[in-house]
Amino acid sequence: MNEERTVLSGNEAIARGAYESGVKVAAAYPGTPSTEILESLGAYAGPHVEWSPNEKVALETAMGAAFGGARALAVMKHVGVNVAADPLFTLSYTGVRGGLVLVTADDPEMHSSQNEQDNRHYARFAKVPMLEPSDSQEAKEFTKMAFELSEKFDTPVMLRTTTRVSHSKSIVRTAEPTVPPVKPGLVKDPVKLVMLPANARKRHPVVEKRMEDLARFAETFPENRVEWGEKKVGIITSGISYEYAKEVMPEASFLKLGMVYPLPREMIRSFASQVEKLYVVEELDPFIEEQVRAMGLAVEGKSAFPLVGELNPFLVEKGLKNLPPAAQEAGPKLPARPPIMCPGCPHRGIFSILNKMKLFVTGDIGCYTLGFLPPLSAIDTCVCMGASIGHAMGLDKALGEEALGKVVAVIGDSTFFHSGITGLLNVVYNRGAVTVIILDNHTTAMTGRQDHPGTGCTLKGEETFEVDLAKLAKALGVRHVRTVNPYDLAAVERVIKKEVQRPEPSVIISRAPCVLSRREKAVSGKPLAVDSDLCTGCRSCLRLGCPAVAWVKEEGTNARGKKRKGRAAIDEFLCNGCTLCAQVCKFGAIKGNDGK
Amino acid sequence: MENRVTNILLVGVGGQGIILASEIMADVFMEAGYDVKKSEVHGMAQRGGSVSTHVRFGPKVYSPLIKEGEADIFVAFEELEALRYLSYLSPHPTILLNEQRLNPPGVSLGNEDYPADVKAVLSRRAKTFKNILARDLAVRAGDVRAANVVLLGALHSILSIPEKVWTDHILKRFPPQAGPVNLEAFRLGKAS
Closest approach of B53 to chain A, Cα-based (Å): 10
* Whole-number pLDDT of residue B40: 87
Closest approach of A159 to chain B, Cα-based (Å): 20
DSSP letters along A8-34, please? EEHHHHHHHHHHHTT--EEEE---TTT
As a whole number, mean pLDDT of residues A303-329 equals: 90
As a whole number, mean pLDDT of residues A183-196 equals: 97
- Please name the residues between 250 and 309 in chain A that touch chain B, using a CB distance below 8 Å: 250
User: d(Cα A24, Cα A184) in Å, to the nearest integer?
Assistant: 10
For residue B52, the chain A residues in CB contact (below 8 A) are: none
Cβ atoms of residues A126 and A89 within 8 Å = yes
Closest approach of B72 to chain A, Cα-based (Å): 16
Q: Do A342 and B87 touch (CB under 8 A)?
A: no
pLDDT tens readout for residues A31-40: 999 999 999 9
Percent of chain A with pLDDT over 70: 98
Q: Which residue from B62, B86, B110 is facing A553, i.e. has the nearest CB?
A: B110
Q: Do B68 and A551 touch (CB under 8 A)?
A: no
For residue B36, the chain A residues in CB contact (below 8 A) are: 7, 169-171
As a whole number, mean pLDDT of residues B122-128 equals: 97
Q: Which residue from B64, B83, B106 is facing A336, i.e. has the nearest CB?
A: B106
As a whole number, mean pLDDT of residues A173-193 equals: 97
Would you say residue A338 has pLDDT above 90? no
- Asked: is A224-321 a CATH 3.40.50.2300 domain? The reply is no
Cβ atoms of residues B186 and B131 within 8 Å = no
* Chain A, nearest residue to B87 by Cα: A329
Q: To which H or E segment does residue A482 belong?
A: strand A480-484
Q: Which residue from B35, B67, B104 is facing A313, i.e. has the nearest CB?
A: B67
* Whole-number pLDDT of residue B1: 47
Q: Do B62 and A244 touch (CB under 8 A)?
A: yes
Task: Quickly state the pLDDT bin for A325 (edges 50, 70, 90).
Answer: confident
* Whole-number pLDDT of residue A328: 64
Would you say residue A210 has pLDDT above 90? yes
As a whole number, mean pLDDT of residues B114-139 equals: 96
For chains A and B, count residue pairs whose Cβ atoms are closer than 8 Å. 154
Q: Do B67 and A566 touch (CB under 8 A)?
A: no
Q: Do A7 and B106 touch (CB under 8 A)?
A: no
Q: Do A312 and B65 touch (CB under 8 A)?
A: yes
Q: Which residue from B39, B43, B48 is facing A112, i.e. has the nearest CB?
A: B43
Q: Do A340 and B30 touch (CB under 8 A)?
A: no
Which of B9, B18, B22, B46 is the best mutation test for A, with the most CBs of A within 10 A? B46
For residue A336, the chain B residues in CB contact (below 8 A) are: 104, 106
User: d(Cα A331, Cα B115) in Å, to the nearest integer?
Assistant: 11
Q: Where are the domains of chain A?
A: 4-218, 224-321, 347-511, 528-592
Q: Do A539 and B110 touch (CB under 8 A)?
A: yes
Would you say residue A345 has pLDDT above 70? yes
Q: Which residue from B39, B46, B106 is facing A164, i.e. has the nearest CB?
A: B39
pLDDT tens readout for residues A376-414: 999 999 999 999 999 999 999 999 999 999 999 999 999
Cβ atoms of residues A587 and A558 within 8 Å = no
Q: Which residue from A247, A328, A335 is facing B112, i.e. has the nearest CB?
A: A335
Other CB atoms within 10 A of residue A384 CB: 16
- Please name the residues between 10 and 39 in chain A that touch chain B, using a CB distance below 8 Å: 32-33
Q: Do B38 and A547 touch (CB under 8 A)?
A: no
Closest approach of A551 to chain B, Cα-based (Å): 5
Q: Do A335 and B50 touch (CB under 8 A)?
A: no
| Beta-bridge mates of residue A277 | A233
Q: Do A247 and B63 touch (CB under 8 A)?
A: yes
Q: How far apart are the first and last CA of chain A?
A: 66
The phi-psi region of residue B81 (left if phi > 0; otherwise alpha if psi is between -120 and 50; otherwise beta) is: alpha
Percent of chain B with pLDDT over 70: 96
User: Cis omega (within 30 of 0) on the bond before A375?
Assistant: yes
Any chain B CB within 8 A of the CB of A549? yes
As a whole number, mean pLDDT of residues B28-32 equals: 97
Q: Which residues of A449-472 are buried (b: 16+ CB within 10 A; e: fewer)?
A: bbbbbbbebbbeeeeeeebebbeb
User: d(Cα A263, Cα A46) in Å, to the nearest integer?
Assistant: 35
Q: Do B26 and A7 touch (CB under 8 A)?
A: yes
The CATH number fitting domain A4-218, selected from 3.40.50.970, 3.40.50.720, 3.40.1190.10, 3.90.1150.10 = 3.40.50.970
Cβ atoms of residues A507 and A424 within 8 Å = yes
Q: Do A331 and B49 touch (CB under 8 A)?
A: no
Task: Quickly state the pLDDT bin for A1 (edges 50, 70, 90).
Answer: very low
How many Å is the maximal CA-CA distance in chain B? Answer: 50
**Bigger pLDDT: A543 vs A595:** A543
Q: Is the pTM of this model over 0.80?
A: yes
Domains A4-218 and A347-511 share a fold: yes
Would you say residue A551 has pLDDT above 90? yes
Region of poorest pLDDT, from A79-88, A298-307, A336-345, B147-156 = A336-345
Q: Do B49 and A339 touch (CB under 8 A)?
A: yes
Q: Which residue from B41, B84, B108 is facing A334, i.e. has the nearest CB?
A: B84
User: d(Cα A34, Cα A119) in Å, to the nearest integer?
Assistant: 14
Which of B24, B37, B44, B51 is the best mutation test for A, with the most CBs of A within 10 A? B44
Any chain B CB within 8 A of the CB of A325? no
Question: What 3-state class would DSSP assign to A532?
Answer: coil
As a whole number, mean pLDDT of residues A124-144 equals: 98
Q: Do A247 and B105 touch (CB under 8 A)?
A: no
Between helix A78-94 and helix A55-67 the angle, nearest 10°, is 30
User: d(Cα A260, Cα A280) in Å, to the nearest integer?
Assistant: 12
Task: Quickly state the pLDDT bin for B110 (edges 50, 70, 90).
Answer: confident
Q: Do A167 and B37 touch (CB under 8 A)?
A: no
Any chain B CB within 8 A of the CB of A534? no
Q: In what order do the strands lie in the sheet with A224-227?
A: A224-227, A252-257, A230-237, A277-281
Percent of chain A with pLDDT over 90: 96
Which of A5, A7, A8, A242 is the best mutation test for B, with the most CBs of B within 10 A? A7
Q: To which H or E segment does residue A51 belong?
A: strand A48-51
Other CB atoms within 10 A of residue A559 CB: 10
The CATH number fitting domain A528-592, selected from 3.30.1380, 3.30.70, 3.30.450, 3.40.50 = 3.30.70
* Strands of A206-356, DSSP E: 224-227, 230-237, 252-257, 259-261, 277-281
User: What's the CATH code, domain A347-511?
Assistant: 3.40.50.970
Closest approach of B86 to chain A, Cα-based (Å): 8
User: d(Cα A376, Cα B122) in Å, to the nearest integer?
Assistant: 35
Cβ atoms of residues A132 and A196 within 8 Å = no
Closest approach of A427 to chain B, Cα-based (Å): 31
Any chain B CB within 8 A of the CB of A336? yes
Cβ atoms of residues A74 and A109 within 8 Å = no
Domains of chain B by start residue, with CATH: 6-191 (3.40.920.10)
* Chain B, nearest residue to A246 by Cα: B62
Q: How far, CA to CA in Å, does A163 sit from each of A31, A167, A310, B72?
A: 11, 6, 9, 25
Q: How far, CA to CA in Å, does A381 sit from each of A108, A127, A360, A368?
A: 22, 34, 9, 12
User: d(Cα A25, Cα A17) in Å, to the nearest integer?
Assistant: 14
Any chain B CB within 8 A of the CB of A333? no
Closest approach of A148 to chain B, Cα-based (Å): 27
User: d(Cα A568, Cα A550) in Å, to the nearest integer?
Assistant: 6
pLDDT tens readout for residues A441-495: 999 999 999 999 999 999 999 999 999 999 999 999 999 999 999 999 999 999 9
For residue A444, the chain B residues in CB contact (below 8 A) are: none
